[in-house]
A and B are shown apart, each in its own frame.
Chain A
Amino acid sequence: AQTVTQSQPEMSVQEAETVTLSCTYDTSESDYYLFWYKQPPSRQMILVIRQEAYKQQNATENRFSVNFQKAAKSFSLKISDSQLGDAAMYFCAYRSGFDSSASGSRLTFGEGTQLTVNP
């Protein structure tokens, strides 16, 4: 079974600075997708960024970018120019590339990292 590990339960960053959240995963599959979700205090899950494993280029979305190291099974999220609105719980998630696999189409989430942004 696939597992996702976020080793940083809490992180903090000063407004306007950069922070990197770590995520590692374990899988024997070659085709899969990785996601970062944000859950603010409202508890609404919001997609931040996603990465296809077959793409070598790291995904970017404005101030958010990932460092995808397939061989190391690492998928970190970098937030540049941090804003107060970035304060939230961040979850890393994995999805198999094959819906017919044992894990199906489900998302497997990490434990989460609580990000605090200090003014």
Chain B
Amino acid sequence: GAVVSQHPSRVICKSGTSVKIECRSLDFQATTMFWYRQFPKQSLMLMATSNEGSKATYEQGVEKDKFLINHASLTLSTLTVTSAHPEDSSFYICSARGWDKNGYTFGSGTRLTVV
């Protein structure tokens, strides 16, 4: 079946630095990528949606300059958390959709800790 590889699975960074999270669709073309943030025991909160080759559409309240999303190819999307702060510590999950409009494949998530 469809697989999305998300890396890194865990990352610890210092406050003020940037962190890049990658999501790769291994056996299908991801026409749309969704990026979520999840706090412990809570639901997934959509941060942004990106279509290959287009600028990402951010949800209300999500800072575009802080959470940079690049979806330059049909198999790779990246989320860069810039100038990270402790409040950015969270679990980030990507989800890719290919030509099957109801096929949402999730990455395994990245636990980000900012110290």
Give A contacts to B, CB under 8 Å: 33, 35, 42-47, 50, 89, 91, 95, 99, 104-107, 109-112, 114
Decide yes or no whether B71 CB sits under 8 A from chain A: no
Closest to A6 in B: B43
Q: With A45-B95, A91-B44, A105-B49 known to touch, is A99 a contact of B104 (CB < 8 Å)?
A: no
- Contact flags B78-115 to A (C-beta < 8 A → 1, else 0): 00000000000001010101000110101011000000
Chosen A-B contacts, 28 in total, with CB atoms closer than 8 Å, are A35-B104, A42-B108, A43-B38, A43-B91, A43-B109, A44-B108, A44-B109, A45-B44, A45-B106, A47-B104, A91-B43, A95-B102, A99-B101, A104-B57, A105-B49, A105-B101, A106-B34, A106-B49, A107-B34, A107-B46, A107-B95, A109-B43, A109-B44, A110-B43, A111-B43, A112-B41, A112-B42, A112-B43
- The docked-state distance in angstroms from the alpha carbon of A118 to that of B93 is 29
Residues of A within 8 A of B97 (CB): 105
Bound-state Cα–Cα, A42 to B102, Å:
23
B47-97 contacts to A, CB under 8 A, are 49, 57, 91, 93, 95, 97
Tally inter-chain residue pairs, CB-CB below 8 A.
Answer: 45
B102 touching A33, Cβ below 8 Å: yes
Residues of chain B touching chain A, judged by Cβ–Cβ distance below 8 Å, are: 32, 34, 38, 41-44, 46, 49, 57, 91, 93, 95, 97, 101-102, 104, 106, 108-109
Q: Is the CB of B32 within 8 A of A111?
A: no
A45 near B93 (CB under 8 angstroms)?
Answer: yes
Shortest B109–chain A CB gap in Å is 5
A67 to B59 CA separation, bound complex (whole angstroms):
32
Closest chain B residue, CB of each to CB of A91:
B43
Contacts of A45 in B (CB 8 A): 44, 93, 95, 106
Report the separation of the CA atoms of residues A64 and B101 in the bound assembly, to the nearest whole angstrom: 22
In whole Å, how far is B95's beta carbon from the nearest beta carbon of chain A? 7
Smallest distance from the beta carbon of B67 to chain A beta carbons, Å? 16
Of A44, A99, A106, most B-chain CB atoms within 10 Å: A106
